[in-house]
Chain A
Amino acid sequence: MPPPPDPRSDHELIAALNAGDAAAFDAIYYRYRDRILRLAYRFTANHADAQDVLQETFSYLYRKFPGFRLTASMTTFLYPVVRNLSLEIHRKKRTATTTNLDAVADLPGFDAGDQIDQTRADLAAAMSNLSPEHRQTVLLRFVDDLTMEEIAAAMAVPVGTVKSRLHHAIAALREDPRIRRYFAP
């Protein structure tokens, strides 16, 4: 059972951790656990792998103490770690030479035989037409609610690239006749 939210800022918790207050780690863990887990699942598309990435990410973090200094936000510090760990799992599992995390299946978890309404099917089809990198950017932005900076950290690209990908992805969705009704005035 998670404890009540800690009112201290990330920097205050890190200062406490550097001073040896191990309980401060609990606060940081519960504050970011769900986001890390969702991002790990976005990259790995596998529950067990996502839990492994969660464990390794926070192991990476606590091994930084004492002496750790946070110079950016916690998410921009941790998201590249999540990406690298997910990549590592991906490499070990796949026999192909490509290690493109963004190509990992992120299509909705339904089988072809499921009964879904046409609206959702059209949306899934339109999304599948996007390139893996563009689709990933859209999902991180609008489903996982990451900021541009967080997406940049998670995908290991500059913020400008994130903006450019988002721009092109949305333009492509806007032009897709299957979901044009969403954009009608």
Chain B
Amino acid sequence: MPQDPAQLDDLPDPLAEDMRQLYRADIQPSPAVDQAILNRARAHIAGRKRTLLLLRVAGAAAAVVLVTAALLPSLHSARRSARSPVARQVQASDINADGAVDIRDALALQRAIDAGRAAATHGDITGDGVIDKRDVDAIAMSAVRLDRGMPR
């Protein structure tokens, strides 16, 4: 008869105490390290605050220009892509262009990154402007999803 699982996953108090005595990490923080971290943090946050304010002012001005341009009648007819956003992502993830998204696409992208030819793959799956391991991971995670709504 199996024992209560809760009891099996705990240690007797004397054992836990002896373990703590034996293995407690004996490390103290350094005041110099504390000050260095906090100073850098304050400098970064203060700097970002100023930059953000400048960006918002510039952004508001640029937004006015863009909205005006967007509302003007277009000179050329717009060609809407027939693909849905999901289908576009599937196409981007199919690095080896075999019609399926699987772990081989992650392998292909990683090999391209290692060889310095990632730019040729259009593998910016995460859309952050960089093709790196995060995009490789995104493809791999897509391959193992249980509810794969995207076509193979």
Contact = CB atoms under 8 A, between A and B. Distances in A.
Interface string B8-33: 11111011101111111111011101
Interface string A118-144: 011001100100000000001100111
Most A C-beta atoms less than 10 A away, residue of B14, B31, B37: B37
Given A22-B42, A25-B45, A62-B45, A144 B25 contact: yes
Given A25-B38, A41-B25, A41-B27, A166 B9 contact: yes
Contacts of A163: 9
Contact of B48 (A23, A47, A66, A167): A66
Interface in A1-54: 1-2, 17, 20, 22-23, 25-26, 29, 33-34, 37-38, 41-42, 47, 50-51, 54
B25 A42 contact: yes
Contacts of B45: 17, 20, 22, 25, 62, 65-66
Contacts of B63: none
B27 to A, nearest CB: 5
A84 B25 CA distance: 19
Given A25-B42, A38-B27, A59-B40, A182 B15 contact: yes
Nearest to B45: A22
Interface string B36-55: 11101110111011001000
Contact of B9 (A62, A167, A179): A167
Given A38-B27, A139-B23, A62 B41 contact: yes
Nearest to B14: A182
Contact of A22 (B11, B21, B41): B41
A173 B44 CA distance: 48
A54 B9 CA distance: 31
B27 A123 contact: no
B34 interface: yes
Contacts of A33: 29, 34
Contacts of A72: none
A100 interface: no
Given A65-B45, A106-B23, A182-B11, 8 more contacts: A2-B34, A20-B46, A37-B29, A55-B36, A62-B40, A123-B18, A139-B23, A163-B9
